[in-house]
Amino acid sequence: EYYYLLLFSALGMMFMVSANDFLSLFITLEFSTFGFYILVAYLRDDVKSNEAGIKFFILGVLTASIIVFGISLIYGDTGTILFSKIAAIEHKMSIGLVLGLLFVFIGIGFKIGAFPFHAWIPDVYEGAPIPVTAYLSVVPKAAALCLFLRLAFATLSDLKQDWVWLIATVSIFSMTYGNITAIAQKNMKRLLAYSGIAQIGTILIGMAAGTEMGADAVLFYLMTYLFANLGAFVVVIIYANATNTDDIDDLVGLNRKSPLMAFAMLLFLLSLAGVPPLAGFIAKVYLFAAAVQQGLIFLVSVGLVNVVISFYYYLIVVKKIYSVEPTDATPIPLSLPIRLVLYTGITGVLWLGIWPKPFIDFSVTATKVFAGLSLR
């Protein structure tokens, strides 16, 4: 049932990014989340896994209630749940519609793990099986952000000035909270969890720009984040399977045990930090350029400060891997499929950084698909 549940959730996300009305938005959003309620608690004999599953389920149901309440307010105020008809309404500042949209955005904020809707992320990431955590850290967030693009830009593009500062505020708090909290983490999964909150904050810079360039940058950033974050989790999975631990202190001397894993983790973490010429650097420059173009200088300044903060905790891990001699230097065997996965991740973060144009062109096309129109 493990793989069926993954496919079940993936199917829900495929429908979710194509939602054209609030009813299909809600159904597909919950359809995609249902499988994760079970997958997070998949390790039945693990107390942390069970605790994470219960917490995820309770918060997920609460979020679903908030979204339903928001949709009811929207329908009660406008008489429709279709994105296209709401976009055609000339006066969108009625209290019912504004509150309804706010509740829906709160629900999406929970799905992407943005501050202050992030409470489930660290415990769920730590307690869930590592492959589930890896999948949960990227794919549902990417789908929810694509839905966010579709809703915010296609339906509410003419109200950009009214919601841009709300998104900017969430972005600032997500980046700052995620990065500062990540510094104190001792577990690799929890570090990547808080890093993920900060990365979502960075992505929201492109959303705050509210332009086609900003939306393009968001989708391109998601591609780079997929390679780097999934790659880092793959290394953690391999190491945890070999040593039965995923603590940062136990990564000492990984370069002696597996030079390929150490080099891969180095590139993945540096890409997440935004070091040139890796993919993360190009993605961050693209996002910041879109925000600067709209005069969001303060937001970009906060983003740059947070990039510097993120260097600190990523380099702590790199130092453990390369600068500390292990007490046990037993080599970690890597099968051919695992090597191919690592090589794919390495190729991805290098290729998107050195020759990003094909992927940027793809993100431009994808923006028009997800948003449903050419943005202003």
Strand runs (DSSP E) across the chain, as ranges?
Answer: none
Confidence class for position 198, pLDDT limits 50, 70, 90: very high
Task: Output 139 or 179, whichever has higher pLDDT.
Answer: 179
Residues 227-252: pLDDT tens digits? 998 889 889 888 888 887 778 888 88
pTM (two decimals):
0.87
Q: Do the domain assignments include residue 321?
A: yes
20: phi then psi, degrees, rounded to nearest 5: -115, 0
Residues 319-374: pLDDT tens digits? 888 876 766 667 888 888 889 989 999 999 999 999 988 888 888 888 777 665 44
Q: Do the domain assignments include residue 113?
A: yes
Tokens read off for 271? 């890409």
Q: Do the domain assignments include residue 64?
A: yes
Residues 327-340: pLDDT tens digits? 666 788 888 888 99
Please return the burial class of 266, using the count of CB atoms within 10 Å of its CB with bins 0-12, 13-18 and 19+: buried
Whether residue 376 has pLDDT greater than 50: no
156-177 burial string, b = 16+ CB within 10 Å, else e?
beebbeebbeebbebbbbbbbb
Tokens read off for 14? 């495929």
Q: Do the domain assignments include residue 40?
A: yes
DSSP string, 221-275: HHHHHHHHHHHHHHHHHHHHHHHS--BGGGGTTHHHH-HHHHHHHHHHHHHHHT-
Q: Do the domain assignments include residue 99?
A: yes
Q: Work out the average pLDDT over 275-291.
A: 91
Q: Work out the average pLDDT over 191-203.
A: 90
CA distance 37 to 60: 8
Confidence class for position 303, pLDDT limits 50, 70, 90: very high
**Cα angle 125-127-131, degrees, rounded to a multiple of 5:** 60
247: phi then psi, degrees, rounded to nearest 5: -80, 150
Q: Work out the average pLDDT over 43-64.
A: 82
Residue with tokens 């996965």: 341
Q: Work out the average pLDDT over 99-120.
A: 84
Q: Do the domain assignments include residue 376?
A: no
Q: How high is the pLDDT of residue 176?
A: 94
Q: How high is the pLDDT of residue 93?
A: 66
Express as a percent the part of the chain with pLDDT over 90.
22
Domain that holds residue 145: 2-371
Please return the burial class of 27, using the count of CB atoms within 10 Å of its CB with bins 0-12, 13-18 and 19+: middle
Q: How high is the pLDDT of residue 161?
A: 66
Q: Do the domain assignments include residue 54?
A: yes
Q: Work out the average pLDDT over 211-229.
A: 89
Please count the structural domains in the chain. 1
CA distance 218 to 293: 15
Q: How high is the pLDDT of residue 375?
A: 44
Express as a percent the part of the chain with pLDDT over 70.
93
Whether residue 27 has pLDDT greater than 50: yes
Q: Work out the average pLDDT over 190-198.
A: 89
Q: Do the domain assignments include residue 169?
A: yes
Give which of 60, 30, 168, 67 is closest to 121, Cα–Cα: 60
Q: Is the peptide bond before 116 cis (omega within 30 degrees of 0)?
A: yes
CA distance 13 to 71: 19
Percent helix, strand, coil in the chain (nearest 5)? 80, 0, 20
